[in-house]
Structure 1
Amino acid sequence: MVLAIDLGQSGARIRTPDTEFVSKRSKITTESTLDALNDLFIEVQETLGSDFHSDVVALSLTGVYGDVGDPKPYGQLAAKFFGAKSVAVIDDGLAGYFGALGNSDGVVVSIGSGTVAIAGRRGHYSHSDGVGHIFGDFGSGFWLGKSALERVIATQEGRDDATFLSDFFEAEIKTYETLKSRTDAKAHSLCITAAKTLLEAAEAKNTDAITIRDKGAEYLAKTIRAAWTNVDGMRNEGISIALLGKLANNKGYVESIRRRTSSLLPQITLVEPKGNHLDGAIFIAEHVPEDIEPLLRWWRK
């Protein structure tokens, strides 16, 4: 039996062979992943019962930036709570890759609060972006929302002229005005939630919103190209590309990404993902017994 956990920036998902549920416990940018998992494991025990055990635990983790590090602390924590004997510690981008494409070659882009692209070709894998919102995550939910709010706030102060864009963000501005800190986790979350409003404004043909959306798509196209190039992929190869995450449900954003990526890699095909990060974590637990450095490392008791 496999216990699979996908820990993200906006919550977590947990799956066993018998059940699946969602937790509001997320990985906050400034905290240790192990601290977040400790809280999450307590919640899992409360939900599934203190006698719940799983020999195999697969952890899909945000915030590891392409290198999962030493798997031992994760393994020991899972052993303590669930009696685990084998623990897969997985960069969430790689979990998304195997969930979406399985063993097939291609590129998978996870577009949620952050952004990461994983390319796979002939058994080799690369990681592009996914370095956090300070130095990367271009085209992500955080990036879209922050870019929009920057212009809206500047317009309120007379530093910009995005008046029509500002009309879409009345609720976000009210929240912004209540923030005690403009740099803490609540400010970060506001930027993430503002992405939905930005994409709605773009669908309503607001030119400022379209400009921001398409700039995000341009960044993602370059991230996809970088990931593919880093596994020695050729420009004119046929490439399957799958998009994961809530923002991948927005048809306007997906089409903008497709157009800009096609200009860089002309033989791409957008494909429907076979599954998600949880599916990928389980696939890895069942079919990938070896490490994929530095994106996947196993701990075994």
Structure 2
Amino acid sequence: MSDSTHTWLIGVDGGGTGCRAAIGTGAHGVLTKSEGGPANATSDFSLAIKNIRAAIAAAANSGDIDTAWLEHAEVYLGLAGVMSTQDSARIAAALPYHRVTVSDDRGTTVTGALDGADGYVLAIGTGTIAACSRGGAFDYVGGWGFQVADQGSGAWLGRAALEHVLLCHDGLAQSGGLCADVFAKFDHDPRAISSFASAARPGDFAKFAPDVIAAGKGGDPAARTILQEGADHLEACLTRLGFRAGDRLCLKGGVGPHYADYLPPVFLTNRVEPRGSALDGAFRLAGISAAHRAEKTR
């Protein structure tokens, strides 16, 4: 497939809990996919590169594609933790491909979710993406990483749950179902929570997000307070981005759709389902990059 009309395309979506790779061509679409481990460039650069390469290799293997054919593939990576052009260049240099574009995961997420249409996206998983698309141009709020941002994210929810447990243990908050469920996972030892938190990465904290969501659905006051605080932040993000009643809104990610129960109804009057994933967005952008590159050589 050396013909320019059949250039190999590789799209990669990477975040704090895993990465996904898709390989195909513009003519045939995605031919094979695979999943791998965490690929947040800020949390652990070496691990991210290792997992990205492994996911691409696994996708190639499952599709019976010789990896040597991919040397000149058009590669587009949307990765959590990419903060600068220096980050992008460093990641690209660590991969065995000649045509690599690296961005953070916001553009790939919006591209996949809206498939080119105008609208707003709240993509909430381990991290938080609040974005809008107008006429093909994107605008974002936040995305500065778990240490200083990512309010409302799975990692943020998990950390808030652990904080609540310790407050309950110290007699500073009312214990309930959320506290009981999470504290039991640490054998009711507050020191175990402190030890865990000192070395935990965003994906580790995010493992407790389902406990918060489940407790909220069960009416636990502490869980509902945490989720409402996250929703209030997301509402502020949408307002800052210019959201108006009736605008298209997509809630996606492992956590995003659960905020529908906490956002004001005016934000949900034109709620739409995602048209695609961030991986779809990365593959689509790889195709766009290939087309632009071909146009320049004409």
TM tier relative to shorter chain? 0.7 to 0.9
1:2 corresponds, among 6, 9, 30, to 9
Confirm whether residue 12 of structure 1 aligns to residue 13 of structure 2: no
Which residue is 1:62 aligned to?
80
Deviating beyond 6 angstroms after TM superposition, the runs of 4 or more aligned structure 1 residues are none
1:142 corresponds, among 145, 155, 164, to 155
Structure 2's unaligned 5+ residue stretches are 1-7, 25-30
Q: Residues of 2 paired with 1:221 and 1:68: CA distance?
A: 30
Q: Residues of 2 paired with 1:146 and 1:75: CA distance?
A: 32
1:198 corresponds, among 212, 225, 229, to 212
Q: Is the 8 A contact 2:19 2:52 kept in 1?
A: no
Which residue is 1:294 aligned to?
none
User: CA 1:179–1:155 in structure 2 vs 1: closer, same or farther (change >3 Å)?
Assistant: closer
What does 1:135-214 align with in structure 2 at a 5 Å threshold? 135-174=148-187, 177-178=191-192, 181-186=195-200, 188-214=202-228
Q: Which has the higher contact order (CA 8 A, sep 6+)?
A: 1
Q: Is the 8 A contact 1:108 1:242 kept in 2?
A: yes
Structure 1's unaligned 5+ residue stretches are 230-234, 292-299
TM-score, normalised relative to structure 2:
0.80
Q: Residues of 2 paired with 1:202 and 1:267: CA distance?
A: 20
Q: Residues of 2 paired with 1:282 and 1:156: CA distance?
A: 48
Q: Residues of 2 paired with 1:74 and 1:28: CA distance?
A: 8
Q: Is the 8 A contact 2:75 2:101 kept in 1?
A: yes
Q: Residues of 1 paired with 2:246 and 2:257: CA distance?
A: 24
SS in 2 for 1:6: strand
**RMSD between aligned residues:** 2.9
1:241 corresponds, among 230, 243, 249, to 249
2:261 corresponds, among 239, 255, 258, to 255
User: CA 1:28–1:158 in structure 2 vs 1: closer, same or farther (change >3 Å)?
Assistant: farther
Question: What's the CA shift for 1:37?
Answer: 4.1
Question: What's the CA shift for 1:117?
Answer: 1.2
What does 1:70-85 align with in structure 2 at a 5 Å threshold? 71-78=88-95, 81=96, 84-85=97-98
SS in 1 for 2:67: coil
Which residue is 1:215 aligned to?
229
Confirm whether residue 104 of structure 1 aligns to residue 125 of structure 2: no
Q: How many residues are treated as equivalent by the alignment?
A: 272
Confirm whether residue 53 of structure 1 aligns to residue 69 of structure 2: yes
User: CA 1:176–1:58 in structure 2 vs 1: closer, same or farther (change >3 Å)?
Assistant: farther
